[in-house]
Amino acid sequence: MTDRGRQAVKRRRVFLISSALIIGIILGTISFGVSRLFTPKSDNNEKKETKSSSVSKTVKKIKKDESKSEETSSKQVTTPKTNGNKLNEKYSNLMLVNAKNPLPDNYDSEIRKDLVEIEPELRNNNYVTKIHKSVYPYITAMVRAAQADGVDLKVWSPFRSYADQKALFDKQVERYGGDEDKAATIVARPGTSEHNSGICADFNMADDAFEQTEMFKWLCEHAEEYGFILRYPKDKQDKTGVIYESWHWRFVGIEAAKKINKSGLCLEEYLKKNNIKQEVSVDNF
Ligand SMILES: [Zn+2]
């Protein structure tokens, strides 16, 4: 090998060694950087999470304590809470739903988006819990007012879906050996029950014994102030097509409820006498 050849080999070795060193330094730097980038940060996150969860626990505790004190104070205040929804004396809904005036086919699917959950402390049923949003401020204000008066009024059965109504009806049809007309005297056909409309409710219990309770007495005195009427009164079965139900109350509107009660008429009679015809439709809200 010539001198030039040896020098070339030497240069190549120097080049290779320095290249290896540079690559080593670069790799070392990257791995250090990567480890710094992830390891300590994840620790911080954990610490932050622990800290924030303890903060949220404290907030929850404070909120819980606040709601406790709210509960205590609400018992002393007799003014009904309306959740910021002011009750409108003039608002009314005189839609007549009965065996002759069934709800339209699209009603059940259309109304679902407008249903609101009634708070657990205002009801004694966990299966059916919703009411139409237009009635929500009135029914909740009414139940709160009764409770503030020391009366244990609770919503038992508000909105009932078409499917639930059908299941109830089919059960009666089966009981009467396929006789639908007979079944319809016990349970309304699907789409003809006011419960399918979302603007009425049964209170506490669907039982004749309700008439003897302080809840019934309170409703008779105050329900009209919140827009509700006793929908199926005594001695009106031939007009309503439904037996006397002390537990079933229908929202019509505050002004309308006062007028209907003053007239002594049931809803069917009142609408007929005053020539009021409101289409059975989702457009009524
Ligand atoms: Zn009812």
In sign, the C-alpha dihedral spanning 52, 56, 61, 62 is positive
207 Cα: distance to centroid of ligand 1 (angstroms): 10
pLDDT score for 8: 62
Q: Which has the minimum average pLDDT: 75-79, 218-222, 263-267?
A: 75-79
pLDDT score for 21: 55
**Beta strand segments in the chain, E:** 115-117, 130-132, 155-157, 200-203, 228-230, 248-251
Closest among 140, 272, 122 to 204, alpha carbons compared = 122
pLDDT above 90: residue 44: no
Average pLDDT, the chain: 81
175 Cα: distance to centroid of ligand 1 (angstroms): 20
What is the average per-residue pLDDT within 24-29? Answer: 50
pLDDT digits 0-9 by tens, 182-206: 999 889 999 999 999 999 999 999 9
6 Cα: distance to centroid of ligand 1 (angstroms): 107
16 Cα: distance to centroid of ligand 1 (angstroms): 92
Query: Which of 245, 268, 269, 279 does the annotation list as catalytic?
Result: 245
pLDDT digits 0-9 by tens, 68-94: 333 333 333 334 444 455 799 999 999
4 Cα: distance to centroid of ligand 1 (angstroms): 110
Q: State how far Cα 285 lies from the chain centre.
A: 17
pLDDT score for 227: 98
Is 245 a known active-site residue? yes
Query: Are 232 and 250 a contacting pair, CB within 8 Å?
Result: no
pLDDT bucket at 137, cuts 50 / 70 / 90: very high
201 Cα: distance to centroid of ligand 1 (angstroms): 6
What is the average per-residue pLDDT within 278-285? Answer: 87
Other residues' Cβ atoms within 10 Å of the Cβ of residue 103: 23
Q: Which has the minimum average pLDDT: 4-18, 102-116, 170-184?
A: 4-18
pLDDT score for 185: 82
What is the average per-residue pLDDT within 226-240? Answer: 96
pLDDT score for 18: 59
pLDDT score for 255: 98
pLDDT above 90: residue 240: yes
**Of the options 3.90.170.10, 3.30.465.10, 3.30.1380.10, 1.10.287.1080, the CATH number for the domain spanning 80-284:** 3.30.1380.10
pLDDT score for 205: 96
pLDDT score for 283: 86
Burial of 275 (0-12, 13-18, 19+ CB in 10 A): exposed
196 Cα: distance to centroid of ligand 1 (angstroms): 10
Q: Does pTM top 0.75 for this prediction?
A: no
DSSP secondary structure code for residue 177 in this structure: T
